[in-house]
Amino acid sequence: MKYLGELSAFLLFIGLTVPLAAQEKQMLKYDLAEGEQVHYRVTIILDSPIEKHTMTGVISYTGLEKNSEQLSMKFQGGLKESKQAKGSSGIRGPRGFGRRPGGPPPGLFGRGGIAFNGLKETSTQLSIHPNGDVESLKAESQIPYLLGNLSLLPFEALADDSQASWQSGNGITVTQQNDSGFSRSPFRETTKVIKTGGSELTKYKIESVDGALVTIKKTYELNSPSAGQNDNGMKISGTGTFVFNKEVSMPESLSIKYDFEVQLKDSKITMPLAVAYERLSKEEIAEVRAKEEFVKNNPGINTDGTHWTEEVQQNIIKELQSTDVHVVQRRLVRLSARLPFLEEKKIAEALRPLLDKGGQTGKMAGMAWRRWKVIVPELNAEYLASLEKKKMEASVKPATENPFDPAEKPRPVAPQMRTWSDTTGQFKIEATFIELKGDSITLKRKDGKVISLPIAKLSEPDQKHIKEMAQPKAVNPFE
């Protein structure tokens, strides 16, 4: 299904007679010097009944040449799209046949024959009038939801004079065309081409001027009624804020929320659509460039597709922190099979504590960490340092005990071999003392044989030695 906006010849540009204060009377016009650059971070979110669509990215403009009637620029950039199914944890299930009841017509949001070049890195050259009128566009950068070309997104219509309110309107024709015999078209499964008339009106009103920043209220409405009983109609309406920066003569930011209404044959679907962009500072641009360089130098980072949304990431973190070991391990298996995006650092941070767990969970966390460590190099360095510390602690021998510390427990003394003699001194034996019982002593000979004999048969020095061993040890009163 193709949705081709064909602008009619009757462009309306009406300046309303609401004068600015004397100090605010200054024409707003676009200007970008040759070689000068501006960058914007773009976020577009549509909340459909069955899934949430999010598109984000950074776009840039470089001034080429200009005169009083025309400003030429080079556009570079593209958006990445992510989709989160309603009621899911972010893992899209297998695609079935057809679509769930109550969902939006796929032709509005799927490809339907339209090449959405704005959803990939695109470069083109454009020329606009200082008031925002488009003079030329060399290549398309279409994005979904009837938002037109990404390269033209920041440029609103500006007043030709110093006026506080103005409006811009277009008559439009929306063409609905089926490209094949079998179509997913929400209009009809036929090769019939349906054209419907419509109108588009944008109103602007300056609300405040703060130095170089001019805050302008934007009100937008597009109507495309159905061509017949079996065809669909569309309506988009919304209000937001457009900020123009007089110092750089370029847009500063936009934040607007639309109601995207589709009138089907038997029902009507209304979906919130939010569009926002903001001009990046030099520091933010440097951060973007550093991120691009980091991704370039780390091939383990995912760049194919779209990253998980913030909501999905929070759900995954909850699973990793669950007390149910089966929930944790199921998530670890999924993480082990997926390359991470740089925008998913929070998941890697939640994965790190699981590396310290033992058993199967710790092993599975280690397998997932092999992939996810690439997006958190500082955290991985800390983890490796902790492993090295544990290794060193395990290899260090305990310090020598202090033999003079009374608080230490007495260490058992191994029995010592000594020479024992009888009363005559003629007979001697090498043996260790085993036991003293009554008037007898038990010894263990060098060959291992145990013998008992009366103490009276031992020499005088041996008897004295036995008495010293039998003497009770003095008790330390200070312990």
Helix-, strand-, coil-residue percentages of the chain, each rounded to 5: 25, 35, 40
How far is it, in rounded angstroms, from Cα 118 to Cα 136? 17
Share of the chain above pLDDT 70, in %: 75
Q: Which of 178-182, 306-310, 462-466 shows the lowest per-residue confidence on average (mean pLDDT)?
A: 178-182
Per the model's pLDDT, the better-predicted residue between 434 and 173 turns out to be 434
Q: Which H/E stretch holds residue 386?
A: helix 377-395
Range 146-175 average pLDDT: 83
CA distances from 179 to 113, 182, 224, 226 (A): 7, 9, 21, 20
Report pLDDT digits (tens) over 45-58.
999 888 888 899 99
Residue 176 has pLDDT above 50, yes or no: no
For 264, the token pair is 């089907």
Report pLDDT digits (tens) over 420-434.
889 888 888 888 888
Q: Where are the domains of the chain?
A: 2-85+106-287, 301-395, 417-470
Report pLDDT digits (tens) over 251-277.
999 999 999 888 877 788 889 999 999
Residue 104 has pLDDT above 90, yes or no: no
Residue 199: per-residue pLDDT = 84
* Cβ density class 301-340: b for 16+ within 10 Å, e for less: bbeeebbbbeebbebbbebbeeeeeeebbebbeebbeebb
Residue 369: per-residue pLDDT = 93
Residues in the chain: 479
Closest CA to 91 of 299, 335, 344: 335
Residue 70: per-residue pLDDT = 92
Angle at Cα 141 formed by Cα 135 and Cα 143, nearest 5°? 120
Q: At what angle do helices 325-336 and 359-372 cross, to 10 degrees?
A: 30
Mapped onto helix, strand or coil, the DSSP state of residue 198 is strand
Residue 64: per-residue pLDDT = 94
Closest CA to 36 of 78, 71, 85, 84: 71
**How many Cα atoms are found within 13 Å in the side-chain-facing hemisphere of 83?**
10
We find that the CATH architecture of domain 417-470 is Roll (2.30)
Residue 396 has pLDDT above 80, yes or no: no
> What is the secondary structure of 293-321 as a DSSP string?
HHHHH-TTS--SS-PPPHHHHHHHHHHHT
How far is it, in rounded angstroms, from Cα 241 to Cα 236? 17
How many angstroms from the chain centroid is the CA of residue 248? 32
We find that the CATH architecture of domain 301-395 is Alpha Horseshoe (1.25)
Residue 305: per-residue pLDDT = 65
Closest CA to 200 of 165, 238, 162, 227: 238
Q: Which of 21-30, 38-47, 139-148 shows the lowest per-residue confidence on average (mean pLDDT)?
A: 21-30
First to last CA, the chain: 93
For 100, the token pair is 């769930």
Closest CA to 307 of 76, 55, 11: 55
Q: What torsion do the CA atoms of 375, 376, 381, 386 make, to the nearest 10 degrees?
A: -120
Residue 210 has pLDDT above 60, yes or no: yes
Residue 197 has pLDDT above 80, yes or no: no
Residue 284 has pLDDT above 80, yes or no: yes
CATH class of domain segment(s) 2-85+106-287: mainly beta
Q: Identify the band that residue 287 occupies on the pLDDT scale cut at 50, 70 and 90.
A: confident
Residue 114 has pLDDT above 50, yes or no: yes
- 332, 363 in Cβ contact below 8 A? no
How far is it, in rounded angstroms, from Cα 466 to Cα 436? 8
